[in-house]
Structure 1
Amino acid sequence: MTTPSARTALASRAGLASWVALVPWAAPVSWAAAHRGPALAGLLAMAAITAEALDTGFPPTTAAAIVVGLLCVAALLVPPRLLRRTGWAAVVASAVLSLVTTRLGHRPEHTPGTAELCALLLLVTRAVRHEPARRMIPLATAAWSAASLVLLRLPDAEWPKAGSFGGPALLFAAPVVVVLGLYLRLLDATREREKNARLNAQRLEYARELHDFVGHHVTAITAQVKALRFTAVTGHPPSPRVLDEALARIEDAAVQATDSMRSMVTLLRQPDHAAPLRAPEGLNGLRDLADALRATGPTVELTVDPGLLTTPPADHLASAAHHIVREALTNVRKHAHGADTVTVDVRRSAGDGEALTVRVADNAPRTPAGTSARRPESGGFGITGLRERVHALGGSLAAGPGPAGGWQVTAEIPLGHEAPGRLS
């Protein structure tokens, strides 16, 4: 039995030992503070647990408290996939230490457990946050029970105070840590849904870009090769000059398709790269599209409202108009068999509000059933991509047989629509 003066001396030595215990943690804590918050929190928790353990003045309890504290802190820091095993190890170790402490013939002067108790309550929060229900409930219940057992380590003389304050505090803490875990679980689910929505939108954007940039050039190559084969089969092979011009056009389309594909691959290899696949093409590029189709297909009559050239619309609206015309002309090349004239009309229209109206129509003959001679667009994604692009700008797009025959694509985009933010 120690005298009061001996107890005071022992307490003084234990307090000094607690402060000395913090010294080895100074350098790691400084490093963690400069790098990551969780590492800093873990090191601070271990420093507190070590200080409490050394404060007992009883080496067996000191060693056991440090080991159990290390398991509790590890359960708070390990990846979620390791949470179940590490959490159960911490809970079992803490409960065993609490029960063994009650059987000790020599009770330490100061009993550790405050930092460990806090770690076990946070383990309840983490279990509710990350574990499925069938594993969450047993682990959370066991962690809270182990936190309650920590009170058994107190000396008998302190039990009245523990019963008055410790028990009610634990009962109050239980719903708090559970609600905190549920809140973090809901927050994680919301973030995951937002992430998936961003990824889906990004995949759609990449699919549209791939179709627009690469599909256009590949379609041009296919059409020109078919034309050369047709002339050869009919017994009228092209002259060397005509053949050379056709092959030059095919080569140019292949180079552009390769460049577009390289741009797409570069973007996919750099997911955080915010630049578009290529600089936006506006209304000035419509003439090039018309000339490209005119060189190997029907006549293209291009009309652009002069007001749009002197006061051009916003870049994202002009780029959308360019996409619409290019996709429509690509479909003409692929499907409008027998068409000899294509009309492209881009103008500013006034109605409920100013809008950019784009119309592309061909005069392909109708079949006897009264429908367009165009082949069915089964499996095609061009019009679907255009409709998604136009709807994202607050506009509308319609595609179908024209009133005088052939096929017609019409889009209206509000001129006041702001540029959408690019996905990252």
Structure 2
Amino acid sequence: MNAPKAAMSGRFNRLLMRLLKFGLVSVLLVILLAEMLSHNSGEKPPMFSWLAWVQWATSMLAIAVYAWYRPGRKRWIAAVAVASLVVTGIDAVYDQVVRGVGTAELLAMGLLLLFAIRHWDAAPGRWVAFVLGAAILLIGGVRLFTYEGSDVGGTAMVVMAMLSVIGFGAYLRSMDKLRRETQEEVRRAERLELAREMHDFVAHHVTGMVVLAQAGQVTDTDPRKAFADIEEAGLAALASMRRMVRMLRADDTGGGVNPLGDLSQIEDLVDRFSREGTDATCFISPELAGGAVAPEIAATAHRVVREALTNVRKHARGATRVRVVVAAASGQGLEVSVRDDGRAPRGRFGRESLAQSGAGLGLVGLRERIEAVGGQLRAQERPEGGWETAAWLPREAAPVEV
């Protein structure tokens, strides 16, 4: 099976970002090499000075940290800032008249300042951004703008560039915070919904226990067989309750906030969708009827169809046909699929981009809910056109560790 186009697009975007970083690193290295070799008439190139080689080492450290930076490695940014301050102090002590080596270092630290602002609260603390900003300013004032009349204008340009970087970093940080808060709100709503569903799921199993106990009193069944059936129903009730409690306690449990449903309600859901103007059909395999599917799985299947139809209404331009299928699958499972013939909005925003980036909170919650019961979700563009949202679910929910 070919990889989904959404996954291919995600890999392509990651490749572009790596190429962009490679290009920036290459430019910084070229600038550093030019700094080491350039000189005025009658002067020796900086490469003949031991201090220039110290500055070269600090520049290489800054470039390397930028090249291999990942969120959570802010301590390396702090190391670059401290090293730069030390080297600038050495330069000031020796009071060199010629222009020092530091342009590539300044540019690399400007890029690192973006990360320091975006990850403002990451270890080792907020002071990293202030120390890095001071190091950038001192590079300009002590090592680069040494010629007469260049200090004021050069420092002003550095300050303006720093303010731009700080503003962009603050914007990215605010977007990260907004996304986390929005997802947390959805998760809180889902935990409340799960608390309501717990009553329905556990009540289903307890009702079965009561029926078995009543049947054992009026029939001539083997008491051991009756007790074994009651025990099995009781264990199923406990497993369902533990699963729900675990999902309620988990900080990273996500999901939507749609009401509880089952397989019998999927047809009604599709009929209501069809009455809104889109030709929608539904097929549910007969072998899945009659309690062949656990209540948690039936509710999850209902949630898949509801979320998929919502996305069709929001994001599928010109969709005229929708096909919903709930069929038995291999491995004692079932597959829920919703296919449409619509076109995505310009830029693929809302379908392919949401599926690959997780920006669609409905898909985020749906994926986590499906995985919580041991299933798998895929959302991808169809080769013949349109979109497909499909999920494989076990007929019984995944076992829960006691």
Using the size of structure 2 for normalisation, the TM-score is 0.46
Q: Between Structure 1 and Structure 2, whose CA radius of gyration is higher? A: 1
Using the size of structure 1 for normalisation, the TM-score is 0.44
Task: Kindly indicate whether structure 1 or structure 2 has the higher relative contact order, using CA contacts under 8 Å at least 6 residues apart.
Answer: 2
